[in-house]
Amino acid sequence: SPFEVESVLMEHPAVMECAVTGIPDPGRGYSLKATIVLSPGYTADEALKKELSHYCQDNLAVYKRPRSIVFADQLPKTVSGKIRRAEIRQADQAGETAGAH
């Protein structure tokens, strides 16, 4: 479940909010991608991606770990504040990530 992976990621102090979605993977069918909005004071860089990846290794089973981590300024949401994962998946299929950098 993406919610379990999101819950683990949310425990890391650098993660303000996140959404986990499936992305096409030629070898596996699908793999997990985490789109992360950082807490203030953190910088989106390769070192932080590695730190979050190691954090997932320490706290999740192998098959639950995101294969891809991207940072975004914000996540697309409904008027009520629910994350619109479908919009993130659509952006992935178009070759871009909504709000990512």
How far is 28 from 22, CA to CA, in rounded Å?
Answer: 11
pLDDT tens string 39-98: 999 999 999 999 999 999 999 999 999 999 999 999 999 999 999 999 998 888 777 655
Q: pLDDT value at position 35?
A: 97
CB 2 within 8 A of CB 36: no
Task: Answer whether 17's CB lies under 8 Å from 37's CB.
Answer: yes
pTM equals: 0.88
